[in-house]
């Protein structure tokens, strides 16, 4: 019986695993979404799903194809969802509405992200 008390006490002290390292502060990033012909595309929200550290973030893309977001540096998969106040993504985004590990971007401080549609 005493051995179990010692074991439980050790587990409570040590915990069940290691805590992840704290995230560095957020970085400001600007970006733009371009069609395959190089023209800017708006009317959607771009979603960044972290592949390493961080939190999922979403931001509306302006009509001129630009966006600004604060997030943590790292690698992200991206996908598109309807812009705030709309019910569906435009047709050119239909195949890009789910996260995909083949569509990734790396975020660093002060960087401009360019997302080119296929």
Q: For the chain, what are the domain ranges?
A: 24-116
> Minimal CA–CA distance to 31: which of 78, 70, 65, 58?
65
- Arithmetic mean of pLDDT over the chain: 79
pLDDT digits (tens, 9 = 90+) for 78-112: 888 888 777 766 666 767 777 677 888 888 888 88
Q: What is the value of pTM for the model shown?
A: 0.70
Q: How far apart are CA 118 and CA 110, in angstroms?
A: 25
For 10-33, b/e burial (b = at least 16 CB within 10 A) is eeeeeeeeeeeeeeeebbebebbb
> Minimal CA–CA distance to 33: which of 108, 118, 116?
116
Sorting pLDDT into bands at 50, 70 and 90, what band is 60?
very high
pLDDT digits (tens, 9 = 90+) for 2-52: 666 655 655 555 555 555 555 567 888 899 999 888 999 888 899 999 998
Answer CATH for 24-116 from 1.10.645.10, 3.20.20.70, 2.60.40.10, 2.40.160.40: 2.60.40.10
Instruction: Count Cβ atoms within 10 A of the Cβ of residue 1 and give its class: 0-12 exposed, 13-18 middle, 19 or more buried.
Output: exposed
Amino acid 42: pLDDT: 87
Judged against a pLDDT cut of 90, whether residue 68 lies above it is answered with yes
Amino acid 31: pLDDT: 92
């Amino acid at each position: 019986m005493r051995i179990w008390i010692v074991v439980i006490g050790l587990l409570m002290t040590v915990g069940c695993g290691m805590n992840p390292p704290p995230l560095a502060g957020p970085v400001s990033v600007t970006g733009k979404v371009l069609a395959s012909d190089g023209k800017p595309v708006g009317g959607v929200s771009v979603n960044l799903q972290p592949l390493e550290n961080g939190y999922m973030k979403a931001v509306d893309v302006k009509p001129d194809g630009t966006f600004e977001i604060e997030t943590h540096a790292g690698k992200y998969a991206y996908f598109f969802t309807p812009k705030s106040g709309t019910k569906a993504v435009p047709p050119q985004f239909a195949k890009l509405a789910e996260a995909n590990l083949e569509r990734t971007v790396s975020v660093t401080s002060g960087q401009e992200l360019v997302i080119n549609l296929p």
